[in-house]
Chain A
Amino acid sequence: MTTEVSSPSTPGDDAGSGLVLDGNAAAGEFSDVLAHDPTTVTVRCGTCSATQAFAQLRAYLGGPGTVLRCRECEAIVARLARTPRGTWLDISGSSSWLFLPRPARA
């Protein structure tokens, strides 16, 4: 499987493994700080205003923190880092987060 992984160009400030996953893979870390399942949140990019499910953001893992980028314009929309002092959440690259109610089930 891994041989099929292409090597996407990783912007230089990511200090990560270089392998791009998606928001599904980052959801465990974000679920520690959010009261809601992160993957179903609709995130609006602060740079290009594209909206996308958190699950579809591009995720850069394996560095000192988790970096999420817009899948349309590649701008950073959120960062989460764990330090001895505490957990840092930076969402300054996004303009809104829409938390949908879970659909009612029969």
Chain B
Amino acid sequence: MTDAEAGVRTARSAAGDGAAPRIRNRWHKATLIGLHSQSQHARTLALRVPGWPGHLPGQHVDIRLTAADGYTAQRSYSLAEASTPDRVAITVDLLPHGEVSPYLVDVMEIGDELDVRGPIGGWFVWEPGDPAIGDGPVLLLAGGSGVVPLVTMLRARQQARDKTPTMLVYSLRGPRDLMYGPELQRMTAASARASTPADTDIRLVYTRRIPDGHPRPPAHLSADDLQAPLSWAQPLATRVYVCGSSGFVDHATALLREAGYADHQIRTERFGPSGADR
């Protein structure tokens, strides 16, 4: 059992708690230690979280901001990196009229603090070697910033040198909205260089504007976009992960059912501007 798996079951008491009872999913104090731009309106925040119990690709955290007057706002964000001791990274996309994301994307500075709870969720998780997935293939379907947990899965797969055939279909409005652009390009290139058939396919589905030379005209995700790549030995994936807004997840799930996928093969995660404020 890895550290990360142990972390899912019980968060360890922080060092120095002494005989305090173990609290399963307590809030951790986190300090911003790194910033990295991911698109024109998204950035990755790296946080130092002493005592972080580790996590699995696909899991998320709750983030809590506290104002000087005690008002708090809470949101969920997918974990953006594979598990590293005492470190949590999230990628935040700016919601123009949001309450929390403008602070995280435009205001928060190195050294600032917030509270983190997690890791949360063992269902929307892909661990390389999952026996339920076997030899795959695996289909990852992203709508907008729903790409974050799916890229975390791809990174974990690369780190583990896992060979499960995988395709990421990433729906986005236009070139300005592309997150992780250089990294996705490298993944595609590395896959094309490999002597074996490409084992990571990446399809960019632009819904409104396309970059110069992009072969697919702008349109919403369609059944054609979900067709298995030629390298797959079978027409359907063993498992599909879908992450996006509720509207995107509903649309994608309907297409997957029409394509012949059964509900038990489809794992979805919905996100949106909603959160618990108090």
Q: Do A and B bind each other?
A: yes
Say yes or no: is A31 at the interface (Cβ < 8 Å to chain B).
yes
**Shortest Cβ distance from B93 into A: residue:** A1
Chain B CB within 8 A of A94 CB: no
Q: How far is the CA of A105 from the CA of B61 in the complex (A)?
A: 24
Complex Cα–Cα for A37 and B5 (A): 12
Q: Across the interface, do B269 and A24 meet the contact criterion of CB distance under 8 Å?
A: yes
A63 to chain B, nearest CB (A): 9
Q: How many residues belonging to A are interface residues under a CB distance threshold of 8 Å?
A: 37
Residues of chain A within 8 A (CB-CB) of B129 are 105-106
When distances are taken between beta carbons in the complex, the residues of chain B under 8 Å from A19 are 246, 272-274
Docked CA distance A65–B93 (Å): 25
User: What are the residues of chain B within 8 A of A66 when measuring CB–CB?
Assistant: 276
Which of A3, A25, A54, A106 sits near B123, CB closer than 8 Å? A54
CA distance A37 to B9 in the complex (A): 7
> Are A39 and B244 touching (Cβ within 8 A)?
no
Question: Within 8 Å CB of A3, what residues of B?
Answer: 173
A57–chain B nearest beta-carbon distance, Å: 11
For B269, give the chain A residue with the smallest CB separation: A24
Task: Determine the residue in chain B with the shortest Cβ distance to A21.
Answer: B270
The SS class assigned to the A binding surface is: mixed
The tally of residues in B whose CB lies under 8 Å from a CB in A reads 50
Bound-complex Cα distance A22 to B270 (A): 6
Known: A2-B95, A2-B272, A61-B275. A102 touches B122 (CB 8 A): yes
| Chain B residue at smallest Cβ distance from A106 | B129
Scoring B residues 51 to 84 as 1 if CB is less than 8 Å from chain A, else 0, what string do you get? 0000000001110000000000010100000000
Interface positions of A from 7 to 38, Cβ below 8 Å from B: 8, 16-17, 19-22, 24-25, 27-29, 31-32, 35, 37-38
Cα A64 to Cα B110 in complex, Å, equals 33
**How does the 8 Å CB contact mask read for A33-75 relative to B, with 1 for contact and 0 for none?**
0010111100000000000011110000110001000000000
What are the residues of chain A within 8 A of B276 when measuring CB–CB? 29, 61-62, 66
Point out the residue from A6, A32, A35, A39 that lies within 8 Å of B121, measured CB to CB: A39
A16 touches B274 (CB 8 A): yes
A55 & B275 in contact (Cβ 8 Å cutoff):
no
Within 8 Å CB of B248, what residues of A? Answer: 1, 4
Name the A residues within 8 Å of B124 (CB-CB): 24, 39, 55
| A1-B244, A32-B25 given; A62·B274 CB < 8 A | yes
Instruction: Report Cα–Cα, A17/B99, bound state, in Å.
Output: 13
Please, what's the 1-or-0 string for B169-183, where 1 marks a CB less than 8 Å from any CB in chain A? Answer: 000010000000000
Q: Which 9 A-B pairs have the closest CB atoms?
A: A1-B144, A39-B123, A28-B62, A55-B123, A19-B274, A37-B122, A6-B247, A31-B25, A39-B121
Which A positions have Cβ atoms within 8 angstroms of B?
Answer: 1-6, 8, 16-17, 19-22, 24-25, 27-29, 31-32, 35, 37-40, 53-56, 61-62, 66, 82, 102-103, 105-106
